[in-house]
Structure 1
Amino acid sequence: MDKRNHDGMKDTMDHKFMPMFSLSTGAGQEVVPGVYYYTNQIVNLCCIGTPDDWVLVDAGMPESAERIVEAIEREFGHGARPRAIILTHGHFDHVGSLVDLVDKWKVPVYAHEAELPYLTGKESYPEPDGSVEGGLVAKMSPKFPNEPIDLGSNVEPLPADGNVPHLPDWQWVHTPGHTPGHISLFREHDRTLIAGDAFVTVKQESLYKVVTQKKEVSGPPRYLTTDWDSARASVEKLEALKPATAITGHGQPLIGKELAQGLEKLVRDFDKIAVPDYGRNVKRK
C-alpha cells in the first residue's frame, strides 16, 4: 500500500537510516563566497547564496532531515528556507531526506529531464552492483535502496538552456554516466564547480577511505555507475572547464593545483583509475 503525504508525495526512503559515517560527518564550511557545504554522514550537500536568498543542492541520506535543517540553521539562521532544491541526481544518498525537506519547506525541486522517472515513482535505478571491483562499501551496496521516490508535481525539469533557477550566475552541465540525468553546476566568474558524483575526491568503494576521507580524485562510485563511456566523456567535459574549486558528492573540496593535477590525471588514466577491472557494467576489450 502506498504511503503518501498530503502533497501526494511518496517517500520510499522512510525508515531506511543507514549507519554510515566519516570523519567529516557534520562538518561544514564556506568554500568560496556564497557556497557553503555540509557533510551529511558520507555525502555532501551545498547551499548557494546568502542567508536571505539561497538554493540547496542535493538532499542527503535517509532519515537525516532534522540534522540537515539544524546544520543549515546554524549557518543561515533560524527558519532559513531555500528558494528551491536542485538535484545532481536521484540516488538514495542524494535524495534520502528530500521528501521530508520539501514537505517542511514547500519549495520546488529541479532535476534533469532524464532523471525525472526516478523522482516521480515511475522507474527504479538498476540494483547496485555488489560484484564490482572495490572495497567493502561496494560489497555492501546491494543493501542500498534503488527504488524511486515520488515527488509528484513538486519536481520540474531544469531549463533546457542550461540556466539554473534562482542562480543567475550558474549553469548546469549534463554529466551522465553515473546516472542518465546526472548534472553538475558551474559558476564561470570564479570557476567553481559542484560536480555531484561525476567524479569524487575519495575512493568511495573503500570503507577505510570513506571513513578517513583520504583525498584522491576518483571516478564516480563504481557500484552505482552504469555507463562508463558516458562517465569518461563527462569527466573530460568537466576537466575542460578548468575549475579552480570543486565540491563533489563525496570527499573533501579541492582547489587550485591539487584539483587541476588530479583531474588531468583522471582524464589521462580514466580506465586505470575509474573503470573497475570487473563488474556487471564493465565492458573490457
Structure 2
Amino acid sequence: MTDLTTSSAAGRAPSGPLPIVPDVWHLPFPVGHVYLVRLSGGGFAAVDTGVPGSAPAILEAVTRLGGKPDALRQIVLTHSHIDHMGSAADLVAATGARVLAGAADAPAVSGTTPEPPPVLTPIEEPVIEQVLSGLAEAGTPPLKHVRVDVELHDGDLLDDWPEPARVLHVPGHTPGSTAVHLPAAGVLFTGDLIAVGPDGRVILGPFNVDRDAAVASFRRLAALPGVDALCVPHGEPLRTGAARALQEATPETDWL
C-alpha cells in the first residue's frame, strides 16, 4: 500500500526539500509529494502542488533552496486531482507562476468542466473512502480552480529546464495525465500513473478513469531508456535502480 491513506496534516511538509539529482528536489507530503526543479534561466518549477493548504510549505522550500518566494516561475501539473493541483491557485496568487497542464485535463483544472470520476476496482473502493476521510480529518481547505496558461501535448519540451524536458501524454489515470522525462539525468516524473509501495515495489497507481489505458501508459514509461530515478507522487521516490524496478513491475495485476 502507498501513502494514499495517510490522514494527518495533509498540507504540511514533514521535512525540507531532499535532493534527487542536481537541480531536482523532493518535497515530501503525507498526501501528494511535490518536486522542485531549478530552472536554467533562474527561479524554480514545481511539479504538482499538493493538497489545498500546501502553498506555504512549498514557498518555504523554495526559500531554503536559495530563492525568494516569488522565484517560483512554473507549475507543472501532472493531472487535475486535488492532491496535485490543490495549491496551484494560491501559488499563482503569491508568485505569478505560469500553470502548465495536459490539454485534456486543462478544463478540469480550470473548473470549466467536471472532473471525470475514476472507475474503481473492488479493492480500490475502501481505499478511496480512506483517502477522502483522511483529507476531511486533516482539515483540508476547499479546492480552488486555476487558469491553465499552457496546455501540454505529447512531445512538447518545457522551457528553461536544466536539460530538455520532454512531456509525455500518458492517459488512463485521467484523460490528460502527463509525465515529464529528463533523459540526460535519467529522471522521470510519473504523476499518479505510477506509485511505489512501502516494500519499494513499483506499482500501478489506483483510481484510474480507464484502467487499460493506464496499464498501456505504464508500459510506455517502463520502456523509456535510461530511467534511473523515479519521482512518484505517492510512496518514496526511487533515486536509483528505477529501470529494473519498472521492468519487474506487474501493473496488469495491481489493485485487482
**If the length of structure 1 is used for normalisation, what is the TM-score?**
0.74
> Which of structures 1 and 2 has the bigger CA Rg?
1
Residue 49 (structure 1) aligns with: 38
> What are the residue-to-residue correspondences of 1:99-114 with 2, within 5 Å?
99-114=89-104
1:253 corresponds to 2:237: yes
Partner of residue 81 from structure 2, selected from 72, 83, 91: 91
How far apart in 1 are the matches of 2:56 and 2:46? 15
How many Å apart are 1:71 and its aligned residue? 2.3
Identity of aligned residues (%): 25
For residue 86 of structure 1, report the CA deviation from its aligned partner.
Answer: 0.9
Q: Could you list the per-position Cα deviations for residues 72-104 of structure 1 after superposition, in whole angstroms to 9, with x for gaps in the alignment? A: 212234435222111111100001111110000
State the partner residue of 2:217.
Answer: 234
Counterpart residue number, 1:188: 183
Query: Could you tell me how far apart the structure 2 residues matched to 1:112 and 1:37 are?
Result: 22
1:31-79: CA deviation from partner (whole Å, max 9, x where unpaired): 1011111012222111112593321111111112112211221223443
Letter in 2 for 1:102: V
Q: Which amino acid aligns with 1:261?
A: R
Task: Give the letter aligned to residue 19 of structure 1.
Answer: S
The structure-2 alpha-carbon separation of the partners of 1:161 and 1:217, relative to structure 1 and needing over 3 Å to count, comes to: closer
Please show how residues 171-250 of structure 1 align to structure 2 within 5 Å.
Answer: 171-202=166-197, 213-220=198-205, 222=206, 224-242=207-225, 243-250=227-234
The root-mean-square deviation of aligned C-alpha atoms, in Å, is: 2.8
Mapping for residues 1-285 of structure 1, pairs under 5 Å: 19=8, 25-49=14-38, 52-127=42-117, 132-134=122-124, 137-141=127-131, 149-152=144-147, 154-158=148-152, 161-167=155-161, 169-202=164-197, 213-220=198-205, 222=206, 224-242=207-225, 243-257=227-241, 259-266=242-249, 269-272=250-253, 274=254, 276-277=255-256
SS of the residue 2:104 aligns to? helix
Paired residue total: 240
Rate the CA distance shift 1:67–1:255 in 2: closer, same or farther, 3 A.
closer
Deviation (angstroms), 1:30: 1.2
Task: Find the residue that maps to 1:193 and give its secondary structure.
Answer: strand
Q: In structure 2, how many angstroms separate the alpha carbons of the residues matched to 1:129 and 1:139?
A: 14
8 Å Cα contact 1:128-1:142 kept in structure 2: no
Letter in 2 for 1:239: A
Indicate if the aligned counterparts of 2:44 and 2:62 stay in contact, CA closer than 8 A: no
Whole-angstrom CA distance in 2 between matches of 1:68 and 1:108: 15
Alpha-carbon deviations, 1:201-251, whole Å to 9, x = none? 12xxxxxxxxxx54221111x2x2111111111111111113111111111
Q: Which residue identity lines up with residue 74 of structure 1 in the other structure?
A: R
Is the CA contact 2:39–2:160 (under 8 Å) kept in the aligned structure 1? Answer: no
Contact 1:25 1:42 in 2 (8 A): no
In 2, Cα distance between equivalents of 1:132 and 1:155: 37
TM-score (norm 2): 0.82
Higher relative contact order (CA closer than 8 Å, sequence separation 6+):
2
Cα distance between partner residues in 1 of 2:154 and 2:193: 20
Distance 2:120 2:169 in 1: 27
Q: Which runs of 5+ in 1 are unaligned?
A: 1-17, 203-212, 278-285
